[in-house]
């Protein structure tokens, strides 16, 4: 854990993120997962990975949605701490302010994507990673069905982390291995 904290502190300093970031946003460090399996390609044709448990739950949930005529697509899954830092570096180079970036992206070391249990989900006909996803049949299906598979929307409106509302971001809980199979 000390190595993780050291890595996070160095990245925060490099990126101009306050040392009080975690406390201010009520976030705990997220360990990078080493045990990952492929869940196939995302909408950008990139291979995506999750932990074995999350991958099984995702496959079961996606199959159940398909039976209900709902198409769930992966936009993003596992991300390393360094990859999260590269996203923020890219936004900084584009002229965005760190304060604005951290309203929509977790700081490196604090993203659920590091755990290999989080997914950003989309559906055909909707721009990925946009609030309009909440108007989709896929979002309505997730609202009523995702919990059966151990998934929960992490950042609802007015969440305690002060992060933007993300109707597309869903995280699997390792304690939810008794999800219903299709």
User: Which tens digit of pLDDT belongs to each residue from 88-147?
Assistant: 999 999 999 999 999 999 999 999 999 999 999 999 999 999 999 999 999 999 999 999
Name all domains of the chain by residue range, CATH numbers in brackets: 1-30+81-110 (no CATH), 33-78+116-182 (3.30.1380.10)
DSSP state of 45: S
* pLDDT above 80 (res 182): no
Q: How far is CA 130 from CA 37, 45, 48, 62, 156, in A?
A: 27, 19, 20, 20, 13
List the structure tokens of 20.
């009080």
Identify the pLDDT of residue 155: 96
Please give the mean pLDDT across all residues of the chain: 94
* pLDDT above 80 (res 174): no
Identify the pLDDT of residue 4: 84
Identify the pLDDT of residue 87: 97
**Cβ–Cβ < 8 Å for 167, 137:** no
Over pLDDT 70: what percentage of the chain?
Answer: 96
Cα–Cα nearest to 89, from 14, 27, 18, 4: 14
Cα–Cα nearest to 71, from 82, 86, 61: 61
């Amino acid at each position: 854990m000390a190595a993780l904290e050291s890595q996070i502190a160095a990245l925060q300093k490099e990126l101009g993120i306050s040392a009080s970031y975690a406390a201010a946003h009520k976030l705990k460090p997220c360990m990078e997962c080493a045990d990952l399996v492929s869940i196939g390609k995302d909408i950008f044709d990139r291979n995506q990975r999750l932990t074995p448990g999350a991958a099984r739950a995702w496959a079961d949930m996606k199959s159940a949605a398909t039976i209900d005529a709902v198409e769930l697509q992966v936009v993003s899954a596992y991300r390393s701490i360094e990859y999260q830092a590269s996203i923020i570096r890219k936004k900084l180079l584009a002229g965005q302010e760190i304060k604005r970036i951290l309203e929509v992206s977790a700081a490196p070391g604090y993203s659920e994507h590091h755990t290999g249990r989080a997914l950003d989900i989309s559906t055909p006909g909707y721009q990925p990673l946009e609030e309009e996803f909440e108007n989709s049949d896929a979002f309505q299906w997730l609202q009523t069905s995702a919990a059966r598979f151990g998934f929960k929307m992490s950042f609802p409106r007015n969440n305690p982390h002060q992060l933007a509302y993300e109707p597309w971001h869903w995280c699997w809980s390792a304690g939810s291995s008794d999800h219903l199979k299709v």
